[in-house]
Structure 1
Amino acid sequence: MKARTLKKDKVNIITLGCSKNMVDSEVLSGQLRAAEIDVVHENAKRDHNIVIVNTCGFIDKAKEESVNTILEQVNLKQKGKLDKVYVTGCLSQRYRDDLEQSIPEVDAWFGTMELPLMLKKFDVDYKAELIGERLLATPQHYAYVKISEGCNRTCAFCAIPLMRGNHLSRSVDDIVKEAETLARRGVKEIMLIAQELTYYGLDLYKKRALPDLLKRLSDVPGIEWIRLHYAYPHKFPMEILEVMKERKNICNYLDMPLQHAADNMLKAMRRNITRAEMEDLITGIRETVPGICLRTTLITGFPGETLDDVEELKTFLERQRFDRVGIFTYSHEENTSAYSLVDDVPANEKQRRAEDIMAVQQEISYEKNQEKIGQTFKVLVDKKEAGRYLGRTEFDSVEVDNEVIIQTDKKLKTGEFVNVKIIRAYDYDLEGEVV
């Protein structure tokens, strides 16, 4: 044991959940590295002695995964393979008191906004000047950029405000400085994320400032793609689209979770919008930016949802023909307003409905992809896997959307752009040749 204590600490960060958590882990690792502490993400070598688990507490499956991961790390500590286990993130924020009692082997628990406190465990002071100095957990050519924290919305199903607090925008200058730092390190695509992008700036600047931010970011040298995730449909600022149309490096892509289409469900979910208003908005978006890729996310199995509601949702998809759709089954979360409702749709029925809805979208996706055969797209090379290159068009985000299987005899570099002519199309992927 004496020899072990002389060994320099090495920290492994395990990140669970969404891209916002990933950014938090990257910022944490940047702070540690600036203090000359050895830090890695998801360390496969297992040569670390300290673990930080950044947890997710969004829905039941995510909470279960987080708890299991914590227990795995505690088990390693008990076997003498780790010195310390720290836990942070949304699950820790939301259930800290209960977790401290049930898993006392964890050395310390931290909430979502307690980075300076966590750094104290390493005798490190938080350095605000390290904007953009992150140890990327993504490939070096793309990065997520968080433009705000928290949310002021009161959606009935959502526990995010309980874990992340009220909406808090970062300043335009700080975000631009971060983008400049990332660009100097070779990042070519930035994906703007927030719990709700379109609320950005209302707290700091007393106006919706996303259009102004986009103009500033699009001027950053080296940033070739800017992608927008998680826009809220109610009071959507159409000025965003004018900037998108004007600036070539802002992808014609918008991720706008709608959650449902039946008016009674939208009202019960407290979404502040009707189906007719959503349809008018979608029409307006497509008229302003022809060819835009629209991605949405839906929830099935919300309390009170009927089979008629599911059919209405399927009809909505068939009518609107979104390019990309993701779906969650409803999770009954404590301290949300929906928790007072009866969770009356069984888990297996929620899943069946989700699969039924996605079958509709799968056919739409296949038909839309077939239309791309013969067209040539600018493609960003993400990786080489199983002897072939995989990339994305501007209409596809990382992990959740289509990939392009690239056929070429040339040696390509990860992070470079190539022109690819599509020769085959599948339900969720494209295949093409470099031209």
Structure 2
Amino acid sequence: MKTRTRKQDKVNIITLGCSKNMVDSEVLSGQLLANEIDVVHENQKKDHNIVIVNTCGFIDKAKEESINTILDQVELKRKGKLDKVYVTGCLSERYKNNLETEIPEVDAYFGTMELPLILKQFEADYKAELIGERLLATPKHYAYLKISEGCNRTCSFCAIPLMRGKHVSRTMEDLVKEAGKLVSMGVKEVMLIAQELTYYGLDIYKKRSLNDLLHRLADVKGLEWIRLHYAYPSKFPLEILDAMRQRDNICNYLDMPLQHASDNMLKAMRRQITKSEMDELIHAIRETVPGIHLRTTLITGFPGETRDDVETVKSFLQQHRFDRVGIFTYSHEENTSAYDLEDTIPAEEKEARAQEIMEVQQEISFEKNQEKIGQTFKTLIDKKESGRYLGRTEFDSVEVDNEVIIQTNKKLTIGEFVNVKITKAYDYDLEGEIVP
């Protein structure tokens, strides 16, 4: 098949995995556009001739999805519907040699930090001056802001450092500039992401500097919500809570993955914290920022986990009554320190334990949502579906948390803020009406 000329090239980027991958895809898109190359995300029109698959390699399910997506695109290339298939991201970083052997039909594989090499495939140059120049894959009123890359933590279950390397902070100047650029594009909310937010600044400023960054971002005019994701509990910098309390546009919301509540498991996971220390931290957070909504994630089925450990997690949830909880089943990952442990818990049992724990949280979530009935919340309109609008309060992040269902004859604009009085509450969603 004759390859099309460059002027006709249209690149479709398929992003798998986490929001950090999404930001990488958006940056790649911005670089391609700056080099006058047509690019889209998740193209539904099927009028592209080149695909870049940005893969995830975090856990088994994510790896399987990435491989299946690559195979699907290779099959389209075999049928003559694509000219080129490129693969980048975490799976490619971690298993490049294996992938080149197993799926040689891919035109080139790239690691997580090889953006300039991807651009060379298009005879394009990396433009370092393009800070904030991203083609958003999200709706234009919110965006993710990646404040650092990599991770220095040594959690025994985690392969992220193998794929993303050591922690590298971005400068405050670059982040403030990017936030300003995002606001000029229509962004109202930024979600700060990293492998580990609280480590920010230690490498370049020689101290934990998330607090300083938050104040500088809060000064960006037009930025109405700043949300914190992925904060590590050990040596948590409590001063960021003061910034949250002092600045109106920092959401009273914190995503702090704890992973477990049993001291045995926390030690085996190398989390550098004990249950009692987590108890104290949660108490301090809620005392400093009354009304804060806490989200955490947990892992079940880690090697050696007992029924007592599962019961400890359930009691922990009942004690602290988190507003939001997500749960993963343990994935036995090569080259992590936990890989030396015997993964003896069957997949079905891991899932059963996860379900058991989530049933506890489901009841807590329902009760907490019921408490919101009659209250009025500033709500950001995200989308319209089936004749109704869906929005979020400051206490909920995109996709993982509650949505507010709004039935109204009034025409609302996606990305606008409205006041909503909650009239009904469910396990994981709210329903309400617009009020002045």
Q: Deviations over 1:65-111 (max 9, x none)?
A: 00000000000000000000000000000000000000000000000
Runs of 4+ in 1 over 3 A off after TM superposition: 1-7
Matched, 1:148 2:143: no
- What is the match of residue 376 of structure 1? 376
1:90-109 mapped onto 2 (5 Å cutoff): 90-109=90-109
Question: Identity over aligned residues, as a percent?
Answer: 80
Give the superposition deviation at 1:407: 2.1
Matched, 1:209 2:209: yes
- Unpaired runs of 5+ residues, structure 1, are none
Distance 2:3 2:77 in 1: 17
Q: Deviations over 1:231-261 (max 9, x none)?
A: 0000000000000000000000000000000
SS at match of 2:231: coil
Distance 1:311 1:337 in 2: 25
Distance 2:380 2:162 in 1: 37
SS at match of 1:215: helix
Tell me which moved more, 121-130 or 361-370. Answer: 121-130
- What is the match of residue 359 of structure 1? 359
1:39-50 mapped onto 2 (5 Å cutoff): 39-50=39-50
Distance 2:2 2:349 in 1: 57
- What is the match of residue 288 of structure 1? 288
Assess, with a 3 A threshold, how the Cα gap between structure 1 residues 320 and 53 changes in structure 2: closer, same or farther: same
Assess, with a 3 A threshold, how the Cα gap between structure 1 residues 363 and 10 changes in structure 2: closer, same or farther: same
1:179-218 mapped onto 2 (5 Å cutoff): 179-218=179-218
Matched, 1:242 2:250: no
Which amino acid in the other structure matches residue 380 of structure 2? L
1:25-424 mapped onto 2 (5 Å cutoff): 25-424=25-424
Q: Deviations over 1:319-347 (max 9, x none)?
A: 00000000000000000000000001100
Distance 2:11 2:185 in 1: 23
Give the superposition deviation at 1:115: 0.3
- Unpaired runs of 5+ residues, structure 2, are none
Q: Deviations over 1:205-242 (max 9, x none)?
A: 00000000000000001100000000000000000000
Give the superposition deviation at 1:408: 1.8
Give the superposition deviation at 1:2: 5.4
Aligned residues, how many? 435
Tell me the C-alpha RMSD between the 2 structures: 0.8
Which amino acid in the other structure matches residue 359 of structure 1? E
Give the superposition deviation at 1:6: 7.5
Give the superposition deviation at 1:7: 6.1
Which amino acid in the other structure matches residue 279 of structure 2? E
SS at match of 2:8: coil
Alignment TM-score, normalising by the size of structure 2: 0.99
Assess, with a 3 A threshold, how the Cα gap between structure 1 residues 432 and 74 changes in structure 2: closer, same or farther: same
Q: Deviations over 1:389-427 (max 9, x none)?
A: 000000000000000001222100000000000000000
SS at match of 2:140: coil
